[in-house]
Amino acid sequence: MRHFDNLVEATQTLKKEGYAHEFTLKRDRIYCEDLNKAFTPDHFEVEQVLHFEGADSSPDTRSTLFLIKTDSNDNGTLIEEDGMYGTDNVSPQLLEKFKRHK
């Protein structure tokens, strides 16, 4: 497993390595605005999960970065948003996909 000092360093390095797209959660799928494409849980995999803590280690400064590989090779990252696992705006199937790798 690779190590990065912070989230910014990780995202910049990973973009250069082919994880060029940024994904967000949209109800029952992940979405990439740049590509104008959405992927259901059956069409992407979480390849790796990286955890980062801020200087004070409080929950407010923690971040999780998911490395995503889609079945169409549109690879990128998804940064865990506050409350990602406690929201009614995301389907249980999609949340389960990420929780397995958390």
Q: Could you state, in chain order, the average pLDDT of each consecutive group of 10 residues for the chain (102 residues)? A: 85 96 93 96 94 66 88 95 64 85 70
Per-residue confidence (pLDDT) for residue 98, from 0 to 100: 83
64 assigned to some structural domain: yes
62 assigned to some structural domain: yes
Per-residue confidence (pLDDT) for residue 84, from 0 to 100: 62
Three-state SS letters, the chain: CCCCCCHHHHHHHHHHCCCCEECEEEECEEEECCCCEEECHHHEEEEEEEEECCCCCCHHHCEEEEEEEECCCCCEEEECCCCHHHCCCECHHHHHHHHCCC
Per-residue confidence (pLDDT) for residue 102, from 0 to 100: 67
Per-residue confidence (pLDDT) for residue 59, from 0 to 100: 54
Number of domains in the chain: 1
Per-residue confidence (pLDDT) for residue 38, from 0 to 100: 97
Per-residue confidence (pLDDT) for residue 51, from 0 to 100: 87
Per-residue confidence (pLDDT) for residue 62, from 0 to 100: 77
63 assigned to some structural domain: yes
14 assigned to some structural domain: yes
Task: List the domain range (segments joined by +) for residue 85.
Answer: 7-99
